[in-house]
Structures are given as C-alpha cells and as structure tokens.
Structure 1
Amino acid sequence: MPESGQPRPCPAGYDAAVPTSANRAGRVREPEFPPRQVSGRGWDWYRGDCHVHSQLSQGGELTPSQLAAAARAARLDFIAITEHNTADTHGAWGALAGDDLLVILGQEITTQSGHWLALGLEPGQVVDWRYGVRDGLIDVSMDQVHRAGGLCVAAHPYAPYPSGTFMYPFLGFDAVEVWNGRWSSDLPWNADNEAALADWGRSLASDICHGRWRPAIGNSDAHLDGQLGVPHTVVLSEGLGTGAILAGIRAGRSWIAESAEVRLSLSLTAGGRRAGIGERLITDGEAATVRVEIRGVPSGTVSFHTEQGGIHREQLPDHDAGTVEWSLGAQDSAFVRIEVRHPSGQMAALTNPILLT
C-alpha cells in the first residue's frame, strides 16, 4: 500500500504531467516521443534489449543520446527504455530513434517484493509500484499495462539485493527475464541467471501441457557504459514496430544471444512440415528432426532440453560455424529447446521451445 505522506497512484495509470526540458536559451522544449513503427521493415529477426536505463535511474550513467549510440554500436534494432518508476525520459527519445532503431516506451516497476518490466506503455504512462506481495495490488498494475497493449515481464527473479528477488507468482505475466546482464561482473552469465533459467525450465513442461507457457527473454539491464546488448533478445516479427515486436515476444518467437556475434537457427521438421522457435509442429506420429545452425561459438556445446530435462548434447567444431541434427518424436516430449555454451560453461545463447503434437 502507499506509504504515509506519498501521493496515491493515479487510477488511469498515467503521469499527471509529462516533463519538459529547457534549452540554453531558456525556451521550454516539448516532449518528443519516438514513433511506434519503423516503416519499410517486414518479417525478419530483430535484435533488441528490453531493459535499459539512463542517468535518470539510480546507478545509471548514460544519457539517452549515449544509449542510442550504444544501441547502434551493438547492432541492435530496438531497445525498451525502462527507467525505475518514472516516464520522465519518454519524451527524450523522438529525435534519437530512426529508421534503424525502434525505441519502445516502458518502465521498470520496482516494488517491495520484486521488480518487473512494463513494455509498450503509452507516452507518459506510469505504472504504480508502491506495494509488496502481501498487498495484492500487482494485478491492478498489470491490468493497466495490458489495457495499453503492453507486456508484463518478471525481471531478474534471483537478483542479489533486497527487493530484487521476485516473490510474486508468474501467473499473469507474459514473459520471464531468465538472463540479466547487469549483476554478472565481467561475465554475462552467473549463478543467479542459472537459477532463473532452471526455475523457468522446470515449469515449462507443465505450462505447455496446460496450454499457457511464458517465454523467456534476456536483457542487459544496462546502467553503465559497455553493458547494453549483453545479452539481448532476438525476435521474429512481422515488422519493426512496438506492436509487432511485443507480439513476437508474447508468442515466444525469440531466442537470447550474448552478443550480435552469435547467430542461431533452430527448426523442427517431420513429414515435409517445418516449425521454428515458438511454433508448433504436428508430427502425425512421425519422428522429427531438430536442426541447429550456430555461428560465433567455436568449440561450444549444444544441449537439447525436453520435458525429461537436458537429454542430449553435442560439441560444435572449433571454427566459427557449426550444424547439429538430432531426432525425437511427440511421444518423447511436448517440446524441445536448446542451450549453447562456450567451453568455459558461459552461456552463449538459449531458445524458447518448439512445440510438438
């Protein structure tokens, strides 16, 4: 519940006043919001970081302009700006987006019992954060996001600081951030991410069997220079627009990469039919072939995961590109997903599942 002396949350979920800024001449600069659609871009795989902070967030050191430059340097197609509990930078991104960079408006909601991301908010929209797991108010906040057409993402479930550990049930959330780059020191993968991935992986089989599973995504949670895009999410989308990207994430048509150097293709075929990540393959009782093509992880290991856990693994060649094939049937599992690790054990990429019937 709101603490004594704090303003009560706005029922509509919108900030009463979107901040403006003043230039050196003293003139007030009106907010300029980024476009929701980049024209001329069709079906493709798009790389993006959905958890990004500027100087306005505690611990942030980069300006919006510096973040835009860093996104382009990391070869990202989109980012989501997710300041802590504010929309104050929404109006700073209009001039920084472009035909090569989509900026999705969002917020990191930092509650007393965990953090979550609201992606695809309206300009200036602020989602309430003043509650904990005992207050029973999180559904009200999630409803605000869903009414705006946005996504709710459970953030860094095992973050190593007070209130960072996610204590809410995943029910009602659209996705889970299983890979968060901020708290990994010099390495993009750590024990907290390992725990988040294991937790998500254990629930996947039951969720799929009940017809409602939550995709995994990965983000940098960038606060400092050099963090943006490590890792990021690669989304199959009908275009480079907020609605299309969020639809791809919601459907699970995505995988996570440690950097743009890593490229991956995963498909499942049976009887002349084919399905990709986040899709369903009807096998009609025939054995299905999983095909993985990977670049950027020499001498790495590909592991295949089903409802029986990690059941098969193969090593990649010591040069840049490698291809692995493996067979299974719908009687063996309702899904298959893969993880790709460097020889050190560091994660290089992981995918959402392909479903089998």
Structure 2
Amino acid sequence: MNIPEQKLRIYGYLALSAFFFIFFMLEMFFSPWNVQHLVPKAVVFTLLFTAAVWEPTRFVILWLRKRTPDLTRSWYRMRTAMLVLVPYGLTLTWVRVFIENYTLIWGTQINFLWYYFWTASTVLLFIMLQVAIYEAIYYFREWKSAMTEAEELKRLHVEMQFDALKVQVQPHFLFNTLNTLIGLMELDKARARKFTEELAYVYRYLLEANENVLISLEDELNFTRAFFFLLKNRYDEGLNLNVSGGEEIGRLKVPPLSLQMLLENAIKHNVITKASPLFITVKIDAQAGRVVVANNLQRKRGAVSTGKGLSHLKEKFRLLELPDMQIHETDQIFSVTIPVLRPLAYESINH
C-alpha cells in the first residue's frame, strides 16, 4: 500500500475521470436525442471537471497533512478537509450544472434541481472517497515507518544493553591472573610462558567473541578450558573441572562467555583450598539442548553475594529472546542450566 504520490495522483485522476464519464455521460447513449456525436466534447468536459475536483481536493489533503502530520490527528484532518471541500464541491457542481443546462452545451435542457442534487451527491461521494484513500495510504505508510523505527530503536537498545553486559562480565579475573603470572615468572619461567600464551588466547577470544551474538559451543568450551587453566595455576589442587557429554556439540550455539561467567561465579563465592577443593562439572545434553554447570557448595563466610553475575547472564538470555536460564540450589550443590541452540532454532525466533 506504499503507493508513490505521483503515481497516486495520475492513476487516481484517470480512475476518477472514468467514473465521472460513466456517471455523467452514460445518459447520452440512452437519450431520445441523437447526441452521440457529442462524445468527444463530453470526454474533454469530463477531464476538465475531474481536474477541478481532484486537484483542489488533493491540495487540501496535502496542506492539512503538512500542518498536522501526527497519525493521531487523522480524524481532525478528515473533518477539516470535509468542512472545506463540501462547500467547494457544492459550488463546483452548481457551476457545472449551470453550464450544461443553461448554455445548452449538449443541446438539451433537463430539470435543474434534480440534476443538481444527483450530480452534487456524486461529486461529494468521490471527494470523500479521495480523502479517505489518501488518508488511509498516509496512515499505513506512517504506521509502517513508525514500526520500522521502533524495531530499529529496540534493536539498538538491545545491542547497547548487550554490549554493556559483555563489558561487565569480562574484567573480573584480570587482576588475579596478572598476580598469578608475576608469581610464575619468579618460580617457573617455562610455565609462565605457557600461562602467558593461554592468557593471550583468552583475551583474543574475548575480543573476537564480542563480535558475535551467538558462538559455537565447541569454541566456548575450548575457551573455558583455557580460562580454567589460568585459574588452575592459581588454585592448583583446590580447583577441579570435569566436562562430559561433548560428543555432538559442533553445531550447537550459546551466547559468548556464558560458561566463563558460571565458572567465575562458582570460584568467586566458594572456598577453594587443598583441604576443601571445589569441583565444577559441565554436563552437555545436546538432545535436550542444555548445558548444566554445577559445583559443590561451600560458601565463603561473610561473603556478600550481589547476584550481578548471574543476573547479567540471565538478562543476556532475555535480551536474545532465548529460553530462560534455570538456577537450582541445595545444601550441597549449586547448579545453573543454560539453553543451547542449533542455528535453525535460533533463526526461527522472532527478533
């Protein structure tokens, strides 16, 4: 329904001319007088009369639209247009009937009053129809534009929120890893070099992953292992990771940094010592489309949990319109279940 203005102007004018010719000139073919030879004159007269109806009506419509472009003012524009155009249409009709009847343009004379009301009702009908069509097209076009802009604003808003979330979940382990690296450089240079390589890989992944809305679960898992390597060098035997069910993960997708956030959350809120080791398990269920990250619960005394990490991750899933993240806690175990998707399943979501 997004019809260009110039096409609407031309096609509308031609259609109205055809209608007026049918309404006003059809009687010539049933007239008792031989007036068929006046058909060319009737065509010219009808085209001129149509222009006198169409163009002023169009001018009033566009003028009102320019003055009050708001979609909520549709009825105001239509009402004002009719207040202007109805008197104009009645006057124009009187001029037409006067010319036709009293100058005997067709060579016959008919009842003035009857012919005036019949012609006036037809003219006003087409004026109202033109106003309604113009307004309907304008309303649809502006509504579609508004919807497009709203979707674009929503997309930009989601991207901004998503970027803000990614910034907030990245820096937590930076200071600890740097301190660990300093210690390794003094004790074991070869191990420090390996640590530096893994640290470089982790941050390279962070930079690349931030460019994607979803990332391969396999890549995310490789990154998680590298991230765990950095943490293992700090906690040694106090920290353990077990990954299972990773046989069919090639085409599965997850939001980037999801597993890293869960590992970091477990390490942040639990005691990790050689005497009280922390065991983290990652169970991948490709058929059910989920990953469960669990750890034995041994909370740090006096630690205050703000819940920001998990809430940020949960918000990320919500912004991406993915299934909800599930959190389960008992006296011994804390687990988080996150959804994983195949590409076709993600593409089918209405974003």
Q: TM-score range by the shorter chain?
A: under 0.3
User: Computing the radius of gyration over CA atoms, which structure comes out larger, 1 or 2?
Assistant: 2
Comparing both structures, which one devotes a greater share of its residues to helix? Answer: 2
TM-score if structure 2 supplies the norm length?
A: 0.24
Greater relative contact order, per chain length (Cα 8 Å cut-off, separation 6+): 1
TM-score if structure 1 supplies the norm length?
A: 0.24
